[in-house]
Amino acid sequence: MGEPIVAAWLSRSSLDVAPELIGCTLVRRFASGEELRGMIVETEAYTVNDPACHAYRRRTARNQVMFGPAGFSYIYKIYGMYHCFNVVTDGDGIPSAVLIRALQVDHSLSTAVAHIQHQSPDKPHRVAAGPGKLCRWMQIDTSLSSTPLVPGSPLWLEQRSPAIQQAFDDGTHTLVQTTRIGISQGTELPWRWYLNESPAVSRR
């Protein structure tokens, strides 16, 4: 277990938070007490005055949580069959979020039940290599939207471990910054980041 990420740390521009979330851990906790973990290896930032942001046009029932304070989940259904998980960032009244696009899973930490529940055609290291895939693997759906990201909740975040931070510091881990995927507006904005050394990045 790492140090929990608190709302204050997320209360900054999504453009600052998104790259810093790489190497951090997303934790999914079930009512049974079972937990699934994955290291974040790919993120995208969405912010104000960003035509690709769901909150660009107006406040709606779906995107309202993005208008509130940082530290909550924003989860939506896409293409009628997948879900996407976001972390709400920045101050109250500033709609912005970071889309978590891929997790690197350490299968030695996964429990037997978790293995049974995720039947995926992919190789094990790719089970969470994409925003829709990570939600499928962690069993995340819209019922978990607007959840506070704090320990003991169904979802929370943990800071980079000392070992991971060291890997960034000594250059073993490097970040790639590029343009976002799957959008039709704001395509020129370089607001996607991924861990170059990870095999779990959705797309390069």
Residues at the interface with DNA (CB under 7 A): 44, 46, 52-55, 57-58, 60-63, 66, 74, 76-82, 84, 86, 97, 99, 120-122, 130-134, 142, 180-184, 202
Q: Residue 108 or residue 143: which is nearer to DNA going by CB?
A: 143
Cβ closest to DNA, residue 108 vs residue 184: 184
The nearest distance, CB 186 to DNA, in angstroms, is: 9
Q: Is the CB of 164 or the CB of 192 nearer to DNA?
A: 192
Residue number, 105 or 164, with CB nearest to DNA: 105
Nearer to DNA, 60 or 111 (CB): 60
CB of 109 to DNA, least distance (A): 21
CB of 170 to DNA, least distance (A): 31
We find the least distance from the C-beta atom of residue 127 to DNA, in angstroms, to be 9
Per-residue 3-state assignment (H helix, E strand, C coil) for the chain? CCCECCHHHHCCCHHHHHHHHCCCEEEEECCCCCEEEEEEEEEEEECCCCCCCCCCCCCCCCCHHHHCCCCEEEEEEECCCEEEEEEECCCCCCCCEEEEEEEECCCCCCCHHHHHHCCCCCCHHHCCCCHHHHHHHHCCCHHHCCCECCCCCCEEEECCCHHHHHHHHCCCCCEEEECCCCCCCCCCCCCEEEECCCCCCCCC
CB 182 → DNA: shortest distance, Å? 2
